[in-house]
Amino acid sequence: MIDQTKSIVILTGAGISAESGIDTFRDAGGLWEQHKVEDVATPEGFARDPDLVLGFYDMRRAALEQVEPNAAHRALARLEREFDGDLLLITQNVDDLHERGGSGQVLHMHGELKSALCLSCEMRSPWNAPMIDRPQCPICQAPSLRPDVVWFGEMPYQMERIYTALSGCDLFVSIGTSGAVYPAAGFVQEARASGARTLELNLEPSEGSHHFTQSRHGPASVLVPQWVDQTLD
Ligand code: OAD
């Protein structure tokens, strides 16, 4: 069955980076228990208290220096190198662990910590420094940078490309995501509607677990390398 697979779409979430030491959002002690979503992850929160928001993302960006990709990130990079078909890796994560694990093509639908979006010229720049001191945009020099991350109430990136891939894939795999946030939570139904098989790899059944043809539960660092081995066999 696996041999027939010609096109795979993979969606990853915070669970794939958990074993690297990055907090997830909704697990016990997760980021949304420590911070209010409406304060640090909405355009309104940014307008109200930009220092709080810039400081929150500066802290998360700096924390990336303390973590390393794990076996799950590296297994997906191996899949990219060795799978003889189409592969689209979509992540909701704003960390850079897929890239550091060796993946060359990663679609960051919720943006990236290491990217800056200028509110003045609307251009993006690679960024790996604090923003709280209002640095200048490398392109237009305006001191108007914000984190290039998608906040609640904003449209995730590259949705057209994602839906096109979902409608043409024959396998959709969701890894380490709670299925609590749309539109990503709806990808499984979109893929199924187009006839794809669907597989969930998660520590526990996610909110949308029942939508998947198959679910495997356990840590990503174990399940993902196992699945990649099977797929490439
Ligand atoms: P969540 O924190 O909502 O869910 C993380 C999922 O990973 C849970 O289902 C956990 O059971 C699972 N998990 C935890 N540790 C794991 C491990 N070692 N191996 C496998 N699975 C594990 O994070 P996301 O689903 O990524 O959006 O959250 C989606 C979006 O909500 C985020 O991108 C972010 C957040 O608000 C924005 O900020 C726009």
d(CA 152, CA 40): 10
Q: What b/e string do you get for 28-48 counting C-beta neighbours within 10 Å, with b at 16 or more?
A: eeebeeebeeeebbbeebbee
Confidence (pLDDT) at 3: 55
Contacts of 123 (CB under 8 A, 6+ apart): 117, 137, 139, 140
Residue with tokens 């299925």: 179
Mutational pocket test of ligand 1: of 36, 152, 178, the residue with most ligand atoms within 8 Å of the beta carbon: 178
Q: What b/e string do you get for 165-191 counting C-beta neighbours within 10 Å, with b at 16 or more?
A: bbeebbbbbbbbbbbebeebbebbebb
Confidence (pLDDT) at 48: 97
Going by DSSP bridges, is the β-strand pair 86-91/7-12 parallel, antiparallel, or unpaired? parallel
Cβ of 109 closer than 6 Å to ligand 1, yes or no, is no
Ligand 1 nearest atom to the CA of residue 94, by list position: 33
Mutational pocket test of ligand 1: of 26, 60, 91, 216, the residue with most ligand atoms within 8 Å of the beta carbon: 26
210 is catalytic: no
pLDDT tens by residue, the chain, 233 residues: 445 799 999 999 999 999 999 999 998 889 998 999 999 999 999 999 999 999 999 999 999 999 999 999 999 999 999 999 999 999 999 999 999 999 999 999 999 999 999 999 999 999 999 999 999 999 999 999 999 999 999 999 999 999 999 999 999 999 999 999 999 999 999 999 999 999 999 999 998 999 999 999 999 999 999 999 999 99
pTM to 2 decimals?
0.97
Ligand 1 nearest atom to the CA of residue 41, by list position: 38
CB 42 within 8 A of CB 153: yes
Confidence (pLDDT) at 79: 98
d(CA 81, ligand 1 centre) in Å: 26
- Coil/strand/helix, residue 204: coil
CB 146 within 8 A of CB 119: yes
Cβ of 24 closer than 6 Å to ligand 1, yes or no, is yes
Confidence (pLDDT) at 2: 47
d(CA 184, ligand 1 centre) in Å: 11
> Using a CB cutoff of 8 Å and minimum separation of 24, what contacts does 188-197 make?
188/212, 190/163, 190/166, 191/9, 191/166, 194/166, 194/167, 194/168, 194/169, 195/170, 196/9, 196/166, 196/169, 196/170, 196/171, 196/172, 197/170, 197/171, 197/172
